[in-house]
Structure 1
């Protein structure tokens, strides 16, 4: 007669499981210096945390006087961190004015400069493919990779 095996603590599994994506997922949020392209801070979390919530949790890691350019997912960032800029979001069934579109374009021109940083981080295959290691070590591994990236950047 076959025996049924049940995992001892199913809640541990549920912490990182995303029902939407039907897989275990993690988030890593990076704060990158605009001009030097250095990674200043990294924050990691399980998938169930919203990006803005992750930002609020790790507010102490932001360097003093830093100016933040964020995307539209960070609505309400002014109340938490006043030294920041967000693109305007169009309301339902309404188009943005041409002035606001120009404003958004200027912000996004500056934000796009950090995308090559993520591209160069993906040369580490652990970040570009499925992460198969322990979830607890994700933050540590990401910090090590960021340190290697910053070191390589300083050698140039």
Structure 2
């Protein structure tokens, strides 16, 4: 986890990404899910799975690309799961709203430290 952005209420992830205007390094690879289809226009290193048309199946090469991307995205989903173990996202947040971003970044720092020193 490099950085996080928060907003009040329920907000779509891609909308929050657009609003935050985070700078991206061109050489940085970004693995995204299907909801981020327009992200490739903003960032050259974005890698999103391809959607199939309604009546036509995906070609074999694109299907293999989607499967390879899913294998890499498993680590991202496991990182999100680790956030949920702190119960920050699991249910309704019942503490002060102003401190939500601070707590989120502190937990991200703890997880980054743990990942860097895991051996």
Q: What TM-score comes out, normalization by structure 2 length? A: 0.81
- Give the number of the structure with larger relative contact order, counting CA–CA contacts within 8 Å between residues 6 or more apart: 2
Higher radius of gyration, 1 or 2: 1
Cα distance, 1:50 vs structure 2: 2.8
Count, aligned residues: 118
Tell me the secondary structure at the aligned position of residue 60 of structure 1.
coil
Alignment gaps of 5+ in structure 1: 1-38
- Equivalent residues of 2:26, 2:43 under 8 A apart: no
Cα distance, 1:151 vs structure 2: 2.4
Select the structure that is richer in strand. 1
- Equivalent residues of 2:29, 2:45 under 8 A apart: yes
Coordinate RMSD, CA, aligned: 2.1
Q: What TM-score comes out, normalization by structure 1 length? A: 0.65
Q: Does 1:46 align with 2:12?
A: no
* Aligned residue number for residue 84 of structure 2: 122
* Aligned residue number for residue 73 of structure 2: 111
Change (3 A) 1:141 1:53: same
